[in-house]
Amino acid sequence: MSAAEQALVTSDAVPLSLRGPAPTRVVAGYGFWLFLLSDIVIFAALFAAYAVLSGENAGGPTAAELFDKKHVLIETACLLASSVTCGFGSLAVQSGDRTSTYLWMAITFILGVTFLSLEVSEFSHMLSIDAGPSRSAFLSAFFTLVGTHGLHVTIGLCWLVIMLLQVATLGFQPMVSRRFFCFGLFWHALDIVWIGVFTIVYLGAHL
Amino acid sequence: MSTEIEAQGKAPGSQVHTHGARRSYLIGLGYAIVLTLASFWASSTDVIYPHGVPILLGVLAIAQMGVHLVFFLHISSAPDQTNNILALAFGIFVVGLIVFGSMIIMAHLNHNMMPMDRLMQMQR
């Protein structure tokens, strides 16, 4: 493409509607963005259920008795750090750097697993003191909301392993880097949902 | 490839310059750490007027979500991101309807419901 043609395409002289179909990366990114927003709508429904039911503990343990702030702060730190390492990893994917892709994504994976194991230990502790999801409406709503988030993290970790295997076998093909890009969006969106979880569920419990 | 993208609009989260993007993640991390620690501090301090704490927590959470959107998901108000912004605005609208709508409706139902002991008497 000559410089003049390029100037014509990028300038605002050509309306968006006349520039032809968008590249696959833009279309895939936009479609995945729509999926993420609909996923956030699911979480909104679970948040609404939790907000309505959070006081209905049926004589069982209350939120303030169950939740430990220090534990949640460590979980938040893991998720936040993994979001940044995931960002560095996607930059490495974009520049086609295999070693730093493996490095950053391995750190992301370890931080994600740490988060999950903290969450599982919290859940199993709650189950052991008879504060399981069947105890009260508050606990049902809690386990549904936080469990759904944990399930998303689990799925994200599986996806990450599959993506690393694809990098190992297929290399940085456009297809692979597009999928990696969608994985990054997914992981950052989970972090945004977690902000809502720790504010409403864990910090809200101690007010 | 990058000129192609610029010609057609941007996918959410796409960036061209690796160096600037790395800095954007670090700036985002800085803001996110400050906001997270601020909300943990606000929930346990006695310095702030107690009835104001939930509002402060809400503001801090929304600010942090904004930081994540801008610095991690790279959503901006650039003209080539109109589609992403429109979808986001619709998503926020639906989330607001579901959360606040449910809370208002359930609070009203709860308020208008007959007290439990009288309800039990009527069943006999």
The alpha helices in A54-136, defined as continuous H runs, are 63-66, 69-94, 98-128
* Alpha-carbon span A30 to B86, nearest angstrom: 11
Q: Which residue of B has its CA nearest to A26?
A: B11
Q: Which residues of A touch B21 (CB under 8 A)?
A: 87, 91
User: Which own/partner contact pairs does A164-169 have at CB distance under 8 Å and 24+ positions apart?
Assistant: A164/A101, A164/A102, A164/A105, A167/A93, A167/A98, A167/A101, A167/A102
Contacts of A204 (CB under 8 A, 6+ apart): A54, A63, B54, B57
* Alpha-carbon span A167 to A160, nearest angstrom: 11
Q: What is the pLDDT of residue A1?
A: 46
Assess if residue A2 is contained within a domain: no
Q: Which parts of chain A register pLDDT below 70? A: 1-12
Q: Could you list the residue range(s) of the whole structural domain that residue A174 is in?
A: 27-206
**Where does the pLDDT of residue B1 fall: very low under 50, low under 70, confident under 90, or very high at 90 and above?**
very low
Q: What is the pLDDT of residue A156?
A: 96
Q: What is the pLDDT of residue A9?
A: 52
Q: What is the pLDDT of residue B47?
A: 86
Higher-scoring residue by pLDDT: B117, B86? B86
Reported ipTM: the value is: 0.84
Q: Which residue of A has its CA nearest to B29?
A: A84
pTM (predicted TM-score)? 0.86
Please indicate whether, in this complex, the C-beta atoms of B33 and A188 are within 8 angstroms of each other. no
Please indicate whether, in this complex, the C-beta atoms of A181 and B13 are within 8 angstroms of each other. yes
Question: Could you give the number of structural domains in chain A?
Answer: 1
**Where does the pLDDT of residue B3 fall: very low under 50, low under 70, confident under 90, or very high at 90 and above?**
very low
pLDDT at B83 over 90: no
Q: What is the pLDDT of residue A85?
A: 95
User: Residue A32 burial by CB count (10 A; 0-12/13-18/19+): exposed, middle or buried?
Assistant: buried
Please indicate whether, in this complex, the C-beta atoms of B106 and A204 are within 8 angstroms of each other. no
Mean pLDDT of chain B: 84
pLDDT at B56 over 50: yes
Q: Read off the DSSP letter of residue A133.
A: T
* Alpha-carbon span A28 to A32, nearest angstrom: 6
- Is residue A113 a contact partner of residue B37, using CB atoms and an 8 Å limit? no
Query: What does the pLDDT look like over A113-168, one tens digit per residue?
Result: 999 999 999 999 999 998 989 999 999 999 999 999 999 999 999 999 999 999 99
pLDDT at B11 over 90: no
- Average of pLDDT values for B16-20? 63
Tokens matching residue A142: 């809690």
CA distances for A190 relative to A1, A58, B28, B121, angstroms: 40, 31, 16, 48
Please indicate whether, in this complex, the C-beta atoms of A196 and B61 are within 8 angstroms of each other. yes
* Alpha-carbon span A99 to A93, nearest angstrom: 10
Assess if residue A183 is contained within a domain: yes
CB burial readout A56-75, b (16+ within 10 A) else e:
ebeebbebeebbeeeebeeb
* Alpha-carbon span A64 to B108, nearest angstrom: 25
**Where does the pLDDT of residue B5 fall: very low under 50, low under 70, confident under 90, or very high at 90 and above?**
very low
Q: Which residues of B touch A191 (CB under 8 A)?
A: 68, 72
Tokens matching residue B121: 């008497």
Tokens matching residue A198: 């720790």
Q: What is the pLDDT of residue B113?
A: 81
Assess if residue A14 is contained within a domain: no
- Average of pLDDT values for B92-109? 93
Q: Can you give the CATH number for the domain in which A76 is found?
A: 1.20.120.80
* Alpha-carbon span A12 to A7, nearest angstrom: 9
* Tokens 């994600």 -> residue: A112
Q: What is the pLDDT of residue B6?
A: 45
Nearest to residue A196, comparing CAs of B51, B27, B68, B88?
Answer: B68
Q: How far is A31 from chain B (nearest CA, A)?
A: 9
Q: What is the pLDDT of residue A109?
A: 96
